[in-house]
Homo-oligomer: A and B are copies of this chain.
Amino acid sequence: MFVYPQTYRKLKRGPQVILPKDIGIIIAYSGADKNSVCVDAGTGSGWLAVGLARVCKEVYSYDIRSDFLAIAQKNKDMLGLDNLILKNGDVKKKIDEKEVDLVTLDMPESEKALKNVKKALKIGGRVVSYIPHTEQVKKYVQTLEKLKFSDTHVVEVMVREMMVRKEGTRPSTKGIWHTAYLVFAVKQ
């Protein structure tokens, strides 16, 4: 089984990964399921791509860097995910797939991919972008509005650990406070 944190410790890490906390919320809030066809970009180490491939029908994951795709290929192979297709390419220039259910974006200036995303999504399809800084969140949201996406929803996910020990029960002293904002929207 693929479980946190055991399996994640075995996965290869190259570029900054998307953590399970964000993968979980992307799945639950986007409605990704066994029937979903997804486009993902950039692949990076492929953590989100494999997380989606484990619950979705097909995932097409793009990256402009072939060295990153090589890392993701190892994670794909380790988990035996034949429904994950890794592609060397730039979604800001072109997305081959049509009528997809979900597009996930983790890249600088992800708003520049939104025109192509809109063409790739079916009506009612959803796009999620993973954005660390507030300035890009704003630019991205403004582009969503210009392109008539609906139901824009921005969240940040915090998972706090509790320790249950002989001396008592308490939250962990330190932990992760921020990875990125998740911006959800729907194609009308």
Contact = CB atoms under 8 A, between A and B. Distances in A.
A153 B31 CA distance: 26
A11 to B, nearest CB: 12
B173 A174 contact: no
B178 A177 contact: no
A61 to B, nearest CB: 17
Task: Give the dominant DSSP class at A's interface.
Answer: mixed
Chain A interface residue number, banded: 35 or more
Nearest to A151: B6
Given A3-B29, A126-B1, A155-B160, A177 B186 contact: no
Contact of A33 (B55, B133, B169): B55
A169 B134 contact: yes
Contacts of A6: 151, 186
Given A4-B184, A125-B1, A176 B176 contact: no
